[in-house]
């Protein structure tokens, strides 16, 4: 019997040479079957839809900046971007973990149902828009209209928030440490409870942030827009 | 001849006075279901020129008239193959009950066509019963799930619908029951308001990227449809083609909804007839007829409508309201235990009557179609509903082929615009066909 | 809708590479804008007594040297013409408004795309890569540029509707987005003597700024006024003879990324158009915030 060479558990793709289709097709259809658990991606150079639609326990490391929809609709996988992300990072994620080491453009985590999105830098406008149960932790600040119509889940903002934070919020909860330029319709500050502090502690630990939960404020829905009401001053 | 002289105003007629007084009492706009109710130029204003001395008909029952329809040939490796060019339009679970979704799927499978999910996600029932299922991706993204993307046969990115182009979905609290609430990630009983823009893209230049994302996720296998409510149709269809759509769905103002503001339904969007003509002109302008398929919807009722739509250049139609009416919407009775039971009193309790009802938004559909109420939804038996819908779709298809044969066509897709004439100047102008008995097409030569 | 690109070289040594750096940026925006493309390049200015007019003949064949002769007969000033297919740059000491008016009457097949002392403007129908090839964009020199790739929206795909739009001297504008009140803006400006060439919504924005600049506003003041008067979604990228400026509306739905080093400032709708610039890994990368004005001077 010849020397048994260990089957590599790692694959590398170079998007300067390989196509996006090669990469995504491998991730969807062959990685699990070939026993690959980690995939490295070089030279993303702003390409869109890298590692989208994953549905297995892969670890994808992307070295550089990505375009729109990195890890879009992610399930189970862990995707790390060693750089910045374009619009819609981890949009509609169902589970797993996406980590953007740089900044994220607009609509980060849009409509995500589960899993954890970590952004070390800033997130642009509409971070967590339409959130449906996932957790988002932003090390920096977020742009206007963040958590717009966020239905469920938690958004942690270690920096500041610009305008209309949590406009038309449903049941999602926001923990914000810095200044909030303005709150959105039906959003209000509420006192932090022990449960909030415990949840926040866990989220911060999971994202490698060392801030003290006591520095954060809670923003939640006043729930006055839940029902059409003639006498309420609703913009509907 | 004496008596009180009653002179009604055309502008401030009784229904307008009632509207104003209702607004004064409630402080809120009226919300209702179905589509535009007022008369607008529509397919009834077009007629067929069938066989004559110069054009020979096919024998009605012996000579074949093909109805097979393929959608999504442009980029997808697995286009949608349908036996007939009549599909079931997107309607949500939430607007409709799960039993109804099941019935739609069963009927569609039997006649060889597709159904479409709506603003609320894919139900297990519909995926199980519908052999060909188109999965909508809407601004709200309620219940949107990549597993369902993978389970679907096609994806339909919805930019708008004919009843309310520019508006988002609406589902009042009485219909947000535990199951609906769970699927949409909402608190039970809340008055649901949907977004009108997609959360992660705006504009055709971003749509290019979004379509590519969905293609990557589905490994380029499934057709991607783009649906627009009829407004600036000529431009929108061109942009949708540029953005990479396989199929374009255009929904005219007569298209239905389960709930939206009446002002939206009646005063926003253009008639299906006008929209269809613009959509076909746009495809012709880009030389994309046959490459990108066109589905038209919004008040399609009969085989005559389908034939006219195909003659004008559509590849297929989608029916929503007609499908619900086949299941019993606006019927005075429902079927239980093989018997017809009267629902007239239930209509009366809603303040309406069979033939006039548009109260889908209340969730108290007397015939169990647009309801989540556990008692009312039992009034629609999926097997009975499936049978009735199958009958309706088969009838419509037979009418379609009857007309096509009479025009000498061996394939319904050979119907052409020149087979049509118009009864009115408006319809002639909108459809771009001559006024009957003349060669006059008002506005001919002007594009857009 | 579209893609936008902008480039300003801070290091004069890079001026000879302006075109070569820009071509991949422009081509990178092809998917956003496959129908047509346009470019405004700001070169070393001609002398004070001269102006440059960028001329375009579209599908019409024009004998540029014959045109030059006719101009020389009519106007006794010095003239030069540098032609490239259906595009030419006419340098003249004649009054540019008189020259433009003469061209409109005597050479109607020729459109004047821009007037200025630094600006040269190119626009044509076709894929960005083909247009870049057609006019040899890679050989262009200059200090800064504004470029655009277009997917036609409401107005027809003709070269006149391609961006950049220009106004006055050395001013140009490109736009990613869609304005919702362009016709109202036009109806307001036309009675004030502002002339429109198209029904394009971007031209409405351009003429609005033209009007404000004419009324004495500086560009930043004009842009701020635009926040309340121009409705819709937009990322505007503008150039003057000395400046490059970018601004996004309050909703910031249309994307923009900026890369800045000591040598250059580069702007594009998507990072992938910037990825191949020199030393991009050391660049400061950021996205302009809504309703904030970012500008750089040469």
| Assessment of whether the complete model's pTM goes beyond 0.90 | yes
Query: Is it the case that residue A215 has pLDDT exceeding 90?
Result: yes
Cβ <8 Å between C271 and A65:
yes
B408-418: pLDDT as tens digits: 999 999 999 99
Q: Give mean pLDDT, residues C49-66.
A: 92
Number of residue pairs across A and B with CB atoms under 8 Å? Answer: 107
Cα separation, B348 vs B310, whole angstroms? 39
Instruction: Give bridge partners of residue C91 from the DSSP assignment.
Output: C52, C80
Cβ <8 Å between A29 and B210:
no
Per-residue model confidence (pLDDT) at position B172: 81
Per-residue model confidence (pLDDT) at position C158: 67
Tokens encoding A60: 């994808």
Instruction: Name the residue facing C1 among B197, B205, B232 (closest C-beta).
Output: B205
Per-residue model confidence (pLDDT) at position A234: 59
Q: Which of residues 223-252 of C touch A (CB under 8 A)?
A: 250-252
Cα separation, B109 vs B91, whole angstroms? 17
Strand order in the sheet with C264-268: C119-125, C36-42, C144-150, C2-9, C264-268, C257-260, C284-286
Does the beta carbon of A106 lie under 8 angstroms from any beta carbon of chain C?
Answer: yes
For residue B441, give how far its alpha carbon lies from the nearest alpha carbon of chain A (Å).
Answer: 43
Query: Is it the case that residue B393 has pLDDT exceeding 50?
Result: yes
Cβ <8 Å between B204 and C1:
yes
Q: Can you spell out the DSSP letters for B312-368?
A: HT-SEEEESHHHHHHHTTT-SEEEETTEEEE-HHHHHHHT--TTT---GGGT--TTS
Instruction: For residue B446, count other CB atoms closer than 10 A to its CB.
Output: 8
Which run of H or E residues covers position C115? Answer: strand C111-116
**Confidence band, pLDDT 50/70/90 cuts, at residue B431:** very high
A218-235: pLDDT as tens digits: 999 999 888 877 666 555
Q: Are residues C80 and C193 in the same domain?
A: no
Among A3-7, B393-397, C163-167, name the one with the lowest average pLDDT: A3-7
What's the CATH code of the domain at C57? Answer: 3.30.70.100
Tokens encoding B402: 């009857």
Query: Is it the case that residue B92 has pLDDT exceeding 60?
Result: yes
Q: Are residues C8 and C77 in the same domain?
A: no
Q: What is the dihedral of CA A149, A155, A161, A165, to 10 degrees?
A: 20
Cβ <8 Å between B193 and A236:
yes
Q: Are residues C169 and C86 in the same domain?
A: no
Instruction: For residue C100, count other CB atoms closer than 10 A to its CB.
Output: 15
* Cβ-based contacts of B213 with chain C (< 8 Å): none
Cβ <8 Å between A106 and C255:
yes
Q: Give mean pLDDT, residues A191-204.
A: 98
Q: Give mean pLDDT, residues A207-217.
A: 97
Q: Which residue of A has its CA nearest to B140?
A: A130
Query: Is it the case that residue B1 has pLDDT exceeding 80?
Result: no
Cα separation, B390 vs B109, whole angstroms? 9
C179-207: pLDDT as tens digits: 999 999 999 999 999 999 888 899 999 99
Please work out, in degrees rounded to the nearest 5, the angle formed at the alpha carbon of residue A74 by the alpha carbons of A69 and A80: 75
Cα separation, B243 vs B254, whole angstroms? 27
Tokens encoding A188: 């209000």
Q: Give mean pLDDT, residues B212-226.
A: 97
Does the beta carbon of A143 lie under 8 angstroms from any beta carbon of chain C?
Answer: yes
A101-122: pLDDT as tens digits: 999 999 999 999 999 999 999 9
Mark out the alpha helices in chain A (DSSP H runs). 20-25, 194-206
Cα separation, A141 vs A191, whole angstroms? 21
A150-174: pLDDT as tens digits: 999 999 999 999 999 999 999 999 9
Per-residue model confidence (pLDDT) at position C157: 57
CB of B208 within 8 A of CB of B243? yes
Per-residue model confidence (pLDDT) at position A7: 61
> Domain range for residue C110?
48-117
For the question of an ipTM over 0.85, the answer is yes
Per-residue model confidence (pLDDT) at position A8: 62
| Non-local CB neighbours of C264 within 8 Å, separated by 6+ positions | C7, C8, C9, C10, C11, C14, C21, C277
**Confidence band, pLDDT 50/70/90 cuts, at residue C105:** very high
For residue B158, give how far its alpha carbon lies from the nearest alpha carbon of chain C (Å).
Answer: 18
| Percent of chain A whose predicted confidence (pLDDT) is above 70 | 93
CB of C162 within 8 A of CB of C37? yes
Instruction: Name the residue facing A126 among B199, B209, B220 (closest C-beta).
Output: B199
Per-residue model confidence (pLDDT) at position A236: 47
Does the beta carbon of B318 lie under 8 angstroms from any beta carbon of chain C?
Answer: no
CB of B160 within 8 A of CB of B169? no
**Confidence band, pLDDT 50/70/90 cuts, at residue C153:** low
| Last residue in a domain, options C71, C90, C117 | C117
What's the CATH code of the domain at C138? Answer: 3.60.20.10
CB of A169 within 8 A of CB of A188? no
Does the beta carbon of C289 lie under 8 angstroms from any beta carbon of chain A?
Answer: yes
Length of chain B (residues): 448
Cβ <8 Å between A84 and C276:
no
Burial of C148 (0-12, 13-18, 19+ CB in 10 A): buried
Instruction: Name the residue facing B208 among C31, C154, C233 (closest C-beta).
Output: C31
Instruction: Give bridge partners of residue B420 from the DSSP assignment.
Output: B48
Q: What is the dihedral of CA A82, A85, A88, A91, to 10 degrees?
A: 0
Query: Is it the case that residue B224 has pLDDT exceeding 80?
Result: yes
**Within chain B, what is the greatest distance between any pair of CA atoms?**
79
Q: Which residue of C has its CA nearest to A105?
A: C287
Instruction: Name the residue facing A105 among C255, C273, C275 (closest C-beta).
Output: C255
Does the beta carbon of C285 lie under 8 angstroms from any beta carbon of chain A?
Answer: yes
Cβ <8 Å between B205 and C178:
no
Instruction: Name the residue facing A124 among C270, C285, C287 (closest C-beta).
Output: C287
Instruction: Name the residue facing B186 among A21, A87, A170 (closest C-beta).
Output: A170
Cα separation, B297 vs B248, whole angstroms? 11
Q: Hunting for tokens 């717009």 — which residue is that?
A: A148
* Cβ-based contacts of A94 with chain B (< 8 Å): 145-147
Q: Hunting for tokens 């040297």 — which residue is that?
A: C65
Domain A10-221 has CATH 2.40.50.90: no
CATH of B43-327+392-431, one of 3.20.20.70, 3.40.50.12780, 1.10.540.10, 3.10.20.30: 3.20.20.70
Q: Which of B195, B197, B200, B205 to mutate to test the interface with C (most CBs of C within 10 A)?
A: B205
* Cβ-based contacts of C287 with chain A (< 8 Å): 103, 105, 124
Number of residue pairs across A and C with CB atoms under 8 Å? Answer: 49
CB of B415 within 8 A of CB of B407? yes
Cβ <8 Å between A130 and B141:
yes
Q: Are residues C150 and C66 in the same domain?
A: no
For residue A209, give how far its alpha carbon lies from the nearest alpha carbon of chain B (Å).
Answer: 27
Per-residue model confidence (pLDDT) at position B193: 80
Please work out, in degrees rounded to the nearest 5, the angle formed at the alpha carbon of residue B67 by the alpha carbons of B66 and B73: 110
Which run of H or E residues covers position B80? Answer: strand B80-82
Does the beta carbon of B233 lie under 8 angstroms from any beta carbon of chain C?
Answer: no
Query: Is it the case that residue C155 has pLDDT exceeding 80?
Result: no
For residue B146, give how far its alpha carbon lies from the nearest alpha carbon of chain C (Å).
Answer: 25
Query: Annotated catalytic residue: which of C2, C172, C206, C253?
Result: C2
Q: Are residues C17 and C137 in the same domain?
A: yes
Sequence-ordered strand ranges (E) for C155-278: 165-167, 171-179, 232-239, 243-248, 257-260, 264-268
Query: CA separation (Å) from A109 to A71, A119, B62?
Result: 10, 10, 59
For residue B224, give how far its alpha carbon lies from the nearest alpha carbon of chain C (Å).
Answer: 17
For residue C68, give how far its alpha carbon lies from the nearest alpha carbon of chain B (Å).
Answer: 38
Instruction: Name the residue facing A144 among C255, C270, C290 (closest C-beta).
Output: C290
| Catalytic residue flag (residue C2) | yes
Q: Are residues C52 and C178 in the same domain?
A: no
DSSP helix/strand/coil, A180: strand
Tokens encoding B84: 């007939």
For residue A200, give how far its alpha carbon lies from the nearest alpha carbon of chain B (Å).
Answer: 22
Q: Which chains touch A (3 or more CB pairs under 8 A)?
A: B, C
Closest listed residue to residue B235, CA positions, set B271, B274, B278, B294: B278
Query: Is it the case that residue B419 has pLDDT exceeding 70?
Result: yes
Instruction: For residue B124, count other CB atoms closer than 10 A to its CB.
Output: 11
* Cβ-based contacts of A107 with chain C (< 8 Å): none
Per-residue model confidence (pLDDT) at position B447: 65
């Amino acid at each position: 019997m010849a020397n048994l060479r260990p089957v590599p558990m790692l694959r590398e793709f170079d998007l300067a040479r390989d196509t996006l289709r090669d990469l995504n097709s491998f991730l969807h259809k062959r990685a699990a079957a070939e026993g690959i658990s980690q995939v490295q991606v070089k030279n993303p150079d702003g390409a869109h839809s890298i590692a989208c639609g994953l549905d297995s326990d892969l670890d994808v490391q992307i070295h550089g900046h990505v375009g729109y929809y990195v890890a879009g609709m992610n399930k189970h996988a862990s995707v790390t971007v060693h750089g910045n992300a374009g619009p819609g990072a981890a949009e509609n994620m169902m589970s797993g973990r996406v980590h953007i080491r740089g900044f994220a453009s607009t609509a980060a985590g849009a409509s995500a149902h589960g899993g954890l999105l970590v952004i070390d830098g800033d997130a642009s406008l509409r971070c967590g828009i339409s959130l449906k149960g996932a957790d988002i932790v932003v090390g920096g600040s977020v742009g206007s209209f963040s958590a717009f119509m966020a239905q469920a889940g938690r958004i942690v903002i270690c920096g500041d928030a610009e305008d209309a934070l949590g406009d038309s919020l449903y049941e999602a909860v926001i923990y914000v440490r810095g200044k909030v330029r303005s709150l959105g319709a039906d959003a209000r500050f509420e006192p932090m409870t022990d449960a909030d502090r415990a949840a926040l502690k866990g989220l911060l630990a999971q994202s490698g942030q060392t801030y003290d939960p006591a520095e954060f404020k809670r923003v939640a829905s006043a729930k006055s827009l839940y029902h059409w009401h003639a006498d309420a001053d609703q913009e509907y | 001849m004496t008596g009180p002289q009653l002179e009604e105003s055309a502008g401030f007629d009784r229904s307008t006075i009632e509207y104003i007084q209702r607004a004064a009492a409630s402080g809120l706009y009226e919300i209702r279901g179905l589509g535009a109710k007022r008369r607008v130029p529509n397919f009834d204003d077009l007629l067929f020129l069938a066989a004559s001395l110069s054009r020979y008909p096919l024998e009605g029952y012996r000579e074949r008239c093909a109805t097979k329809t393929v959608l999504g040939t442009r980029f997808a490796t697995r286009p949608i193959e349908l036996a007939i060019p009549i599909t079931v339009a997107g309607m949500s679970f939430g607007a409709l009950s799960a039993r109804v979704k099941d019935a739609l799927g069963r009927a569609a499978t039997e006649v060889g066509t597709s159904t479409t999910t709506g603003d609320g996600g894919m139900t297990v029932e519909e995926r199980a019963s519908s052999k060909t299922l188109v999965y909508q991706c809407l601004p709200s993204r309620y219940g949107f799930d990549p597993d369902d993307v993978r389970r679907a046969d096609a994806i339909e990115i919805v930019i708008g619908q004919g009843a309310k182009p520019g508006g988002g979905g609406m589902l009042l609290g009485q219909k947000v029951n535990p199951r609906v609430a769970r699927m949409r990630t909402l608190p039970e009983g809340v008055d649901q308001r949907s977004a009108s823009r997609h959360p992660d893209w705006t504009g055709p230049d971003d749509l290019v990227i979004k379509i590519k994302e969905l293609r990557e996720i589905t490994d380029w296998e499934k057709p991607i449809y783009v649906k627009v409510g009829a407004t600036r149709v000529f431009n929108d269809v061109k942009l949708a083609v540029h953005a990479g759509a396989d199929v374009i769905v255009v929904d005219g103002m007569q298209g239905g909804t389960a709930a939206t503001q009446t002002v939206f339904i009646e005063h926003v969007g253009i008639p299906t007839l006008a929209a269809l003509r613009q959509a076909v002109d746009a495809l012709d302008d880009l030389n994309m007829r046959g490459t990108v398929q066109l589905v038209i919807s919004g008040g399609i009722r009969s085989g005559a409508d389908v034939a006219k739509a195909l003659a004008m250049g559509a590849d297929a139609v989608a029916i929503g309201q007609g499908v619900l009416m086949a299941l019993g919407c606006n019927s005075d009775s429902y079927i239980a235990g093989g018997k017809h039971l009267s629902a007239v009193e239930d209509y009366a309790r809603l303040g309406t009557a069979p033939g006039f009802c548009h109260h889908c938004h209340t969730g108290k559909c007397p015939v169990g179609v647009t309801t989540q109420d556990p008692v009312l939804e039992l009034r629609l038996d999926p097997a009975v509903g499936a049978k009735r819908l199958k009958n309706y779709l088969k009838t419509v298809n037979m009418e379609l082929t009857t007309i096509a044969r009479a025009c000498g066509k061996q394939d319904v897709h050979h119907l052409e615009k020149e087979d049509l004439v118009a009864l009115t100047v408006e319809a002639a102008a909108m459809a771009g066909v001559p006024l009957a008995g003349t060669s006059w097409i008002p506005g001919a030569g002007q594009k857009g | 809708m579209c893609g936008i690109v902008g480039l300003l070289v801070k290091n004069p040594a890079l001026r000879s590479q302006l075109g070569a750096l820009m071509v991949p940026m422009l081509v990178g925006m092809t998917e956003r804008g496959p129908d047509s493309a346009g470019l405004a390049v700001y070169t070393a200015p001609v002398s004070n007594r001269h102006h440059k007019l960028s001329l375009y003949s579209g599908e019409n064949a024009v004998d540029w040297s014959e045109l030059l002769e006719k101009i020389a007969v009519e106007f006794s000033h010095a003239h030069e013409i540098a032609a490239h297919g259906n595009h030419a740059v006419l340098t003249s000491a004649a009054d540019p408004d008189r020259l433009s008016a003469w061209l409109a009457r005597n050479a109607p097949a020729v459109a004047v795309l821009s007037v200025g002392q630094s600006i040269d403007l190119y626009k044509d129908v076709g894929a960005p890569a083909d247009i870049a090839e057609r006019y040899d964009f890679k050989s262009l020199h200059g200090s800064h540029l504004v470029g655009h790739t277009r997917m036609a929206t409401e107005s027809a795909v003709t070269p006149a509707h391609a961006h950049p739009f220009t106004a006055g001297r050395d001013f140009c504008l490109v736009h990613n987005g869609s304005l919702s009140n362009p016709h109202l803006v036009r109806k307001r400006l036309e009675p004030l003597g502002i002339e429109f060439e198209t029904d394009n919504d971007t031209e409405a924005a351009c003429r609005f700024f033209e009007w404000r600049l004419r009324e004495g506003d500086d560009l930043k003041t004009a842009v701020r006024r635009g926040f309340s008067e121009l409705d819709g979604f937009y990322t505007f990228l503008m150039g003057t003879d000395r400046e490059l400026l970018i601004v996004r509306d309050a909703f910031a739905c249309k994307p923009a990324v900026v890369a800045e080093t000591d040598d250059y400032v580069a702007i594009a709708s998507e990072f992938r158009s910037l990825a191949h610039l020199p030393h991009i890994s050391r660049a400061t990368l950021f996205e302009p915030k809504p309703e904030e004005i970012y500008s750089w001077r040469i």
